[in-house]
Amino acid sequence: MVRIIGILTGLVFTLAVLISFGVDTYSNLTTEAEETAEHHFHAEPLDVSFPHDGPFGKWDTAQLQRGYVVYKEVCSACHSLKYVAFRDLADLGYTEAEVQALAAEWQVPGIDPRTGETVMRAAEPTDYFPSPYPNDVAAAAANNNAIPPDLSLMTKARHGGAPYVYSLLTGYEDPATYSHDGERLLEAYPDFEVPTGLYFNPYFPNLNLAMAPPLTTTGQVTYEDGTEATIAQMSKDVSAFLSWTAEPTMDDRKQTGWPVLGFVLFATILAYLSKKQIWAAVKPAKRKH
């Protein structure tokens, strides 16, 4: 009797779960989702091109060096590059001595050989870019409970890549005047508000971004090559630099890819001609009707 009651109880429970699942599924399939301001006014990345775009594109080392300056002077205050070592900067056209000098401008944790205590020391080329915060708790406390993401792979991690980063950096807007395709945000959604401590940016998925506008004025950094450091120029340069940090071997990959494709094409043609030569003397069998 106990076993029968247990089986019946299990069947009732299973039936209840199936009914609940069916009702929820039907409700989700038949109920139209309410369109939100985030969905309606979210903007796609701008159509901006870079020298490294396309199968024949290459890194513009001058642009990458300018992008490094923007990262160092602006972005590094909040964001890390934990997968990039200072020695990798040699790929940007810097000499060994210049790489050592650039690394020495940074402070990284070290060990005092006399006391064994943790100290800060000048970075060496073999060190990786340090985090601006000792841990995530400190990072969240300094950024309205939002932990700034590491930027090493950012252009690979976000849909749109470098154009997305460029759009985000240049896309801060005033929600009171923002319009998309001729439709004003606050006219369509009068209750829309930007929470305290956040900033309106239509290129961010939920429109509200914890990061304050990092690039705010022309001349915020100084380029050694004399290029005018406008907001658009700085945004494009640092976007290209972050494309390089995400895929530093892109040039090598493209240079290797074309010979490989050429070899595959040649091998395909050779295999086809060989097949024609081998089977040339073989006559197809006649079909019997």
Annotated ligand binding at 79? The verdict is yes
User: What is the C-alpha separation between 236 and 242, in angstroms, rounded?
Assistant: 10
What letter represents residue 84's amino acid?
Answer: V
Annotated ligand binding at 1? The verdict is no
- The token pair at 3 is 């076993």
Annotated ligand binding at 42? The verdict is no
Alpha-carbon dihedral sign for residues 196, 202, 203, 205 = positive
Strand partners, 200: 208
SS3 call for 98: helix
For 70, residues 6+ apart whose C-beta sits below 8 A from its C-beta are: 215, 221, 234, 237, 238, 241
Name the one residue in this structure whose structure tokens are 């081998």: 278
Annotated ligand binding at 154? The verdict is no
For 250, residues 6+ apart whose C-beta sits below 8 A from its C-beta are: 52, 59, 243, 244
- Residue numbers in the known binding site are 75, 78-79, 211
Q: Which residues are annotated as a binding site for heme c?
A: 75, 78-79, 211
